Each structure stands twice: as C-alpha cells, then as structure tokens.
Structure 1
C-alpha cells in the first residue's frame, strides 16, 4: 500500500440477503485485496459467517497498516445475536444502517475515499426507522454537509443519470425543471470524465412519447428539456436531445453516447438492466463521498446456495476503486 492507494469501506448490506457472501467472495481474491486499503465495517461474527456462506477463507486484521483488510468493529451496535435469513426484518435494517452510518462518519472524517455497500432491502430499512424514500436521501441526512445525491447507473459501456428518481410517476412532470436538467447533466458529465472519458457524449431523454410530437403529447420537451440541453451545450457539455426514450438506448448501444440522462426511474433502469443486469452498478453521485452498490437486490431466494452472480458486485468495487483513487489523488494534490 502507498499514500496514493484508495481507501475503500465495504458494508455487507442486509444480513438476510446475499450481500455477505458477495463481499467474502470478492475479498477471497488477492487481486482485490491489492487494489485498495480495505475497511470492513461489521463485526467478527458476520465476517466469519460470510466466509462460511461463500466457502472461502482469507486473512484479515483488527489493526490498520498490516496490508490486510481491516475489520472496523461495530459489534456494539449489533441488535441481535443471529439475523433471520431470507426475509426483511427490523433488526437487519438496523444493522445495515448502523454499519453504513459508521462508514459515512469515516468519510466525513477524511478516513476513506469511497464506500461500497452490498444490496440493501428498503422494507428492512423502513422497518428500522428510515423515514426517507430511499437510502440515498438518508445518506444526505447523515452526511449533513450540503451535498445532494442523485442515482447513477453504470455499465462498463454506458452510464445513465436521472432528473427525477424515487417519486410517483404521476409527479414526474411536475418535478422536472430547467435547472434540475442542467444540474444533473453536468453531474453526469463529471462522472463520465472521472471514468477517463475526456469528452463524453451525453444523450438526453424526452419525457413524452415521440418526444412530445411537437407539443401534441405534451410540452415538457419544448418548454423545459430542449432549453436545458441548449444551456448544457453553452456550458461546454456535449449534450444532444431530447430523444424519444424508445430509441435513444439503441443509439447508445451502437456507440453514439457515453451517457444518457433520463427523466425518471424506470426510463433508464429497464434499459440498463436489460443491457447488463449482472454487470450493473448504482452510484450515489453528487455526495461528498462516492457510494457504490450492485444494481440488483438482496436475492433472498439465493441465500446460502452459493448461486449468486458476482459480476455486478465486482464492477461496483472496481468503480469505487477508480473514483476513490481519483478523489484521493485530488486530495493529495491540494494538501
């Protein structure tokens, strides 16, 4: 490990799901352990159980600086001795939130450069007392530093951002504004540049069928989205659109765009999961610390079967290492 090595905090996610197995399988490879200084936010029992579930074993240490993954003991906040597997529970949500909170506190203290969490279950989180719509809004509350999260979905060949996210479909149009389209477009460009694309090409989705058909099916494209695309261009962003959402991903698949800005959750999620469900990564962009997770869920039916595909988690770890390394380099350059 060197001064430039990114420092990554790993969270096992909901203990009822496949998250612990995913983390253990990832850490079982020496290549993974050599890519970052790794902090496991958990306790010895969960770590041992995870290795058993995965059928792997690797060395770790309770002390930092050994070159091994460091266990950051959070056992004082474990709510029960054993978690029920394969179901959403209040205790599982409490444990996941406690470990995430510890990681976010480490980020605020400048101790880590990025966070990767294994899949969470929103029902468990809400049973545990989370009042926000999703974990990303909760991250904002815990960090409390003025930064705001937007969800980005990442495949090796394509990144999507959203103007609106976890809101009812009936409220999407009311939540789309000129300023928000511009803000999210610039954030998407920033993330793409952070992935090494010097001049990213961004396609912007329309909201309505046929991009509104010149106002026949709605005026959001004319009054809000198209003017925002022009403003992005004025700010130096290589943006184009709005394009109908039933064709824009075909153009992206064929290499026309590096990133796509969508107007609402499923507009992008359906396409991304169809293109690469087992490879997709979700990142909370816009926060003061990058937070990544595989795009799939807790996969309760697969718990204990050693049948879960690890591709999305591997990609989430890789994205976190990449953005964490760039963040660390920028911090060292200004210190």
Structure 2
C-alpha cells in the first residue's frame, strides 16, 4: 500500500545507458535537496546505479526498502547484455533497457505508486532498433498506459511554456493536421499546465502557421478559417489567448514578458526558439497523460559521455518541474 505523505513520489530512470543520462541522475541524487523534495523510486538495477555513480564521481545512500527517506532502487526487469552496454552509440540493447525502465515506471504510475516520472535523455534510434513502432516515446507512453489519455509535448523554461498543435510529422503534413478542435484542445491544455505552475491568470500567445500570419489570406487561409476562430473559442471559455502572431516575432514578445505560454503550430516553430532562449534550462514535458512525465530537452550527448562536463541545468529543471506537478496531483488525490 502506498504510504500517505504530502511529499510527491517521483520515479527516475537513467535513460539510454550509452549517453550522459546515468551521470545526470547520479549528480542529481547526490544533492541533499533531491530527497528533501520528494520520495525517490530509482528504476534500473544495481550495476546501472554503480556505473552511474562512477560516471559522475559521486556516492550517495540508497536502499531497496520503501519509506526510508533515501532513494529506493527497483529492478526494471530488463535483460543486461553480457559484457555491459556499448557507450556513445545507439544500440538495440540500450533501447530495450531504457524502455524496460520506462515501462516499469509507467506501470508503477498505473498502480498509483508514483506521482511523476523523470527520464534521462533517450536516443530515438536506439528505441526504434529496440522495436518501438511509434514515432516517439510520447506516443509509446500512451500505448503502455492504455487509459485513454493522450500525450502532447510541451517545452518548459522557467519563464515560458510552449505547446504544439502538431509535433513529430513532416512539414508537408502540418497544414492538413491543424483543425479547430485540436487548436482549442491544445490551448486549454497549455492553460492547465500554466495554472499548475502557479500562474493564476496565464497569458497565451498563439502562433500563425504561415509567414506574416497569412497576410489576409495571400499566403494561406489557415489563420482566417481555423486559428483565429479557435482563439475566439478559447477566449469564450475563459482562456486569455491572443493572436495569431507571426512566428518570427511572437517569441520576441514572449521574451519581453508579454506571454506566459506560446501555442505553436508545428515542432520546430517552437523548439528553435526555446532552445535559443535556454538550451541548458529547457525541459520537455508530456502533457495530457494520467501521470506527469518530464525530461531534459537536450539529447544523450554521446560526444561528452564519461567526461563529467555535461550540464545538469536542464535535468535539475526537469526534476523540479516533476516535483511541482507531482505534489499538486498527490495533494488533489489526498483531498478527494
């Protein structure tokens, strides 16, 4: 039975074993503030934990028992290859191991044992080599959870959150995938996430799809026929949304404090801006699922594995974001 506590329970996975993820996790767990903020379930195995501490050059206490106040190690049930994992490259074995850990964390969520999940960076090539059929891990999370919830990717900086109407698809498909209901759905989701971050009256800017916001239909009618009506619908539902604004200026407004969140129409429209604004602070969050899931926005950084130079800023922000959202979800359940 889950122990009743006001502290959130956060599951951590080490990510792809070929990358910097294990080092980042170990460095986070070596900080006393981590276990002060949450109860930690660490998903992997003892060898992975030992290797992670060696990568990071740190040591910390851990246990296999629950409720001790130190990280609890839970085996992921995966198959460790003889001789260990190849480092600094995508492999089927690394992808299988990372997926085993994530599956265990998601199953713990389904059982009500965790309030949020933080996964260290993954490599999509490894995941597909391991047999993942979905385009990305977000869609795979939906399959594993199988509870009717759907993921959308949000990107989080301390000062700004972005959400997308479309995500991992070709640019040729984007215009055909944007519709009124989807813009409204993603706008409402972005507002909920912003409120969960403690913003009482979130201000959301909405991107146009076309250059110059379509220039009154000269460069396309999506702004006139879909996006602007969806913004009006959001406003009628109490969401402070405005736009559509050309994507080459909206992030200048956001940088200057005009918006708390920006709703973009496709992947790179928001990703380029967010990574320029704060690559070492950026967090990717799976919004819309039954459990909060966060990860650093950067990748596995194969080029710096083992050098102890990987920046921890984004991982620290991913962890603090998960703690904040997880604490709210736990409090809501305990009040129900």
TM range (shorter): over 0.9
Q: Distance in 2 between matches of 1:75 and 1:67?
A: 24
Greater shift after overlay, 212-221 or 28-37?
28-37
- Tell me which stretches of 4 or more aligned residues in structure 1 moved more than 6 Å: none
Q: Tell me the equivalent position of 2:312.
A: 310
The equivalent position to 1:299 in structure 2, one of 301, 310, 318, is: 301
Change (3 A) 1:311 1:47: same
Mapping for residues 32-47 of structure 1, pairs under 5 Å: 32-47=34-49
The equivalent position to 2:156 in structure 1, one of 132, 154, 157, is: 154
Q: Distance in 2 between matches of 1:328 and 1:80?
A: 40
Mapping for residues 1-335 of structure 1, pairs under 5 Å: 3-75=5-77, 77-334=79-336
The 3-state SS of whatever aligns with 2:284 is: strand
Gaps of 5+ in 1: none
1:251–1:257 Cα contact (<8 Å) kept: yes
The alpha-carbon deviation at position 75 of structure 1 amounts to 4.8
1:79–1:95 Cα contact (<8 Å) kept: no
Aligned pairs, number? 334
The alpha-carbon deviation at position 33 of structure 1 amounts to 1.5
1:229–1:240 Cα contact (<8 Å) kept: yes
Change (3 A) 1:76 1:123: closer
The 3-state SS of whatever aligns with 2:37 is: coil
TM-score normalised to structure 1 length: 0.99
Q: Over residues 49-92 of structure 1, what are the superposed CA-to-partner deviations in whole Å (9 max), with x where a residue is unaligned?
A: 00000000000001111111000022554344400000000000
The 3-state SS of whatever aligns with 2:272 is: helix
Change (3 A) 1:227 1:33: same
TM-score normalised to structure 2 length: 0.98
1:206–1:221 Cα contact (<8 Å) kept: yes
Q: Distance in 2 between matches of 1:254 and 1:156?
A: 14
1:80–1:91 Cα contact (<8 Å) kept: no
Q: Distance in 1 between matches of 2:32 and 2:82?
A: 32
Q: Over residues 239-296 of structure 1, what are the superposed CA-to-partner deviations in whole Å (9 max), with x where a residue is unaligned?
A: 0000000000000000000000000000000000000000000000000000000000
Q: Over residues 210-249 of structure 1, what are the superposed CA-to-partner deviations in whole Å (9 max), with x where a residue is unaligned?
A: 0000000000000000000000000000000000000000
The alpha-carbon deviation at position 155 of structure 1 amounts to 0.1
The 3-state SS of whatever aligns with 1:184 is: helix
Q: Over residues 124-150 of structure 1, what are the superposed CA-to-partner deviations in whole Å (9 max), with x where a residue is unaligned?
A: 000000000000000000000000000
The 3-state SS of whatever aligns with 1:161 is: strand
The alpha-carbon deviation at position 32 of structure 1 amounts to 1.1
